[in-house]
């Protein structure tokens, strides 16, 4: 049986049985939904071999082809399976360790990620650095066989539920910009770490501030050489917009369909100006299918599109969209509010345009 059929059969069986209540839970702006159930789902995925498909078999993967990876993510989205809680470890740290980690690091960290047993978060952004990653000021010093970390990270997604964090920090005193940075693997459950959730527009808290006040990690838990952190960090970012984002587009299609249905119920669909914007959105969604997820323009394109869809979602509800019934946001209201962040996180649109101009088009700074 082809992988697509295997995945479809397994997903239907699980989501129609033990994990029926997990269907459709989670996602941006909704990470609070059924978290413990989704963590159990992560372990079930790992046990059945549906995590880390592209990884070598030696580390629990399937060494799956690109076509098979795409097939799985499409079936996952079609099944309405819950949003993953282990994706940062699987799609960011895991591939980084496969390329740049030591054998000991791969043996220690890859199996628990594949099994869904350890969750990770990403320690890059800082309060005073904005989108300028090279301006990080979190520092670490090697003392007696351990790195001792001081500083602060911000907008750290899922840090409040993660077990570990990979941290870009400055390990050479007096260094500036891209030099003197290192990439450390730091446990979060220790006295030197404090995680403080940030309340979002939606009223939930799925990203956080992380404070390091003498946090410690073993000297061997550095990826690459000391001072080589910028290169490793860029390698991680290179994996950020991978194959899994193709399944994201099926989620976008479901959101679009809900917007159309809401506009039909409210009567807003009769407005020719709204209909014109809706058709334009549909065309742009179709064009998205023809963009490589690794393209320099991909994140800029989908984030701007999704923010506009959020605006349509709010308009589609008419005046009812201005009211949170019983104090609870509905799915379209949540889409509108959280999609405001799409053009900011994972590289703001302004930064994306600069990167495209300088690195792709060769324009001057």
List the beta bridge partners of residue 218: 146
Residue 144 backbone phi and psi in degrees, to 5: 50, 45
Distance CA 214, CA 109 (A): 23
Rg for the chain, CA atoms, rounded:
21
DSSP line for 205-257: --EEEEEEEEEEEETT-EESSTTBHHHHHHHHHHTTT-THHHHHHHHHHHHHH
90 DSSP assignment: I
Q: Which one of 33, 99, 146, 240 is the catalytic residue? A: 240
Distance CA 123, CA 143 (A): 21
Does 311 participate in catalysis according to the annotation? Answer: no
Distance CA 128, CA 69 (A): 38
Q: Is 112 left (phi over 0), alpha (psi -120 to 50) or beta?
A: alpha
Judge residue 240's burial from the number of C-beta atoms within 10 Å of its C-beta, 0-12 exposed, 13-18 middle, 19 or more buried: middle
- Calculate the alpha carbon distances from 336 to 32, 143, 157, 231, 294 in Å: 17, 48, 19, 36, 26
Q: Which two tokens stand for residue 214?
A: 């003498």
Q: How many CA atoms within 13 Å lie on the side-chain side of 145?
A: 0
Q: Which two tokens stand for residue 203?
A: 């009223």
- Calculate the alpha carbon distances from 357 to 51, 258, 364, 365 in Å: 36, 36, 8, 8
Active-site annotation, residues: 240
């Amino acid at each position: 049986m082809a992988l697509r059929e295997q995945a479809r059969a397994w997903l239907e069986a699980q989501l129609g049985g033990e994990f029926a209540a997990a269907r459709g839970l989670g996602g941006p702006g909704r990470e609070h939904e059924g978290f413990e159930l989704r963590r159990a789902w992560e372990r079930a995925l790992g046990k059945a071999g549906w995590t880390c498909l592209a990884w070598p078999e030696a580390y629990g993967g399937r060494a799956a082809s690109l076509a098979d990876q795409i097939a799985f993510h499409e079936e996952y989205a079609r099944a309405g399976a819950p949003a993953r809680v282990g994706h940062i470890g699987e799609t960011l740290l895991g591939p980084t360790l496969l390329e740049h980690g030591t054998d000991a690091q791969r043996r220690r960290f890859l199996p628990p990620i594949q099994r869904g047993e350890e969750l990770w978060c990403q320690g890059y952004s800082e309060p005073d650095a904005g989108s300028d990653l090279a301006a990080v000021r979190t520092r670490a010093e090697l003392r007696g066989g351990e790195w001792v970390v001081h500083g602060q990270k911000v907008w750290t997604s899922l840090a409040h539920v993660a077990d570990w964090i990979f941290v870009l920090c400055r390990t050479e005193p007096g260094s500036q910009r891209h030099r003197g940075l290192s990439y450390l693997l730091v446990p979060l459950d220790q006295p030197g770490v404090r995680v403080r959730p940030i309340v979002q527009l939606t009223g939930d808290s799925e990203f956080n501030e992380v404070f390091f006040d003498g946090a410690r990690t073993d000297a061997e838990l550095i990826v690459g050489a000391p001072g080589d952190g910028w290169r490793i960090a860029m390698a991680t970012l290179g994996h950020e917009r991978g194959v899994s984002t193709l399944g994201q587009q099926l989620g976008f299609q479901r959101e679009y369909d809900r917007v159309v249905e809401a506009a039909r119920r409210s009567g807003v669909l009769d407005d020719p100006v709204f209909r014109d914007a809706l058709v334009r959105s549909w065309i742009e969604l179709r064009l998205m299918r023809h963009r490589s997820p690794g393209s320099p323009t991909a994140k800029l394109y989908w984030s701007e599109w999704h923010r506009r869809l959020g605006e349509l979602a709010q308009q589609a509800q008419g005046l009812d969209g201005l009211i949170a019934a019983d104090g609870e946001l509905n799915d379209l209201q949540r889409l509108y509010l959280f999609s405001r962040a799409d053009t900011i996180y994972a590289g703001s649109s302004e930064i994306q345009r600069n990167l495209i101009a300088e690195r792709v088009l060769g324009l001057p700074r």
